[in-house]
Amino acid sequence: MDTMTEDPSTLAVFYKGWSDYQTLLTKAIAPLTTEQLTLSVAPGLRSISTIVRHMIGGRARWFHDMIGVGDEEFASLGRWDSKGAPERDAAELVFGLETSWRVMQEALASWTPEEMLQSYENDPGDEPALFTRQWIIWHLIEHDLHHGGEVSLTLGLHGLQALDL
């Protein structure tokens, strides 16, 4: 069920493009082999798997650890990009993308414009001192676009199907 398009009375309607991008990303990742997931644009740079695990981890950390959304299974996704975390195959990466997306989508569909202004304190000494939900959502959109672009570039560089924008 795609709640992004079902209830136009919520802010979720404004995130339709993000939903479409999520679909393109999962379609690009799903057919990749274990070997293809290890590809990077150059030696010493992050692999496709590492980038996608970072995207999943970031989503879970911002939504669970900062905003307080999601259960322990969702919270565990926030450790997928930790040092020493295991590699994941394409099916696991798609699971992580879809699970994190579902949790974020459900939250977005439930928040009012006023609730987007709710603020959260950053770690002491870090800037900015406060984050709003709106800022966190925008940050995750730009994060997905940036790192999804890295994935797309890496795929294309190696002659594989990139995100079909």
Cα dihedral 98, 25, 49, 131 sign: negative
d(CA 11, CA 45): 37
Two structure tokens written together for 70: 């999601």
Distance between alpha carbon 139 and the CA centroid of its chain, in Å?
A: 10
**Has 64 been labeled as part of a binding site?**
no
d(CA 112, CA 154): 38
**Has 147 been labeled as part of a binding site?**
yes
Long-range contacts of 37-43 (CB under 8 A, 24+ apart): 37/87, 37/88, 37/89, 37/90, 37/93, 39/154, 39/155, 39/158, 39/160, 40/154, 41/150, 41/153, 41/154, 41/157
Which residues participate in the annotated binding site?
54, 143, 147
Which residues participate in the annotated binding site for a divalent metal cation?
54, 143, 147
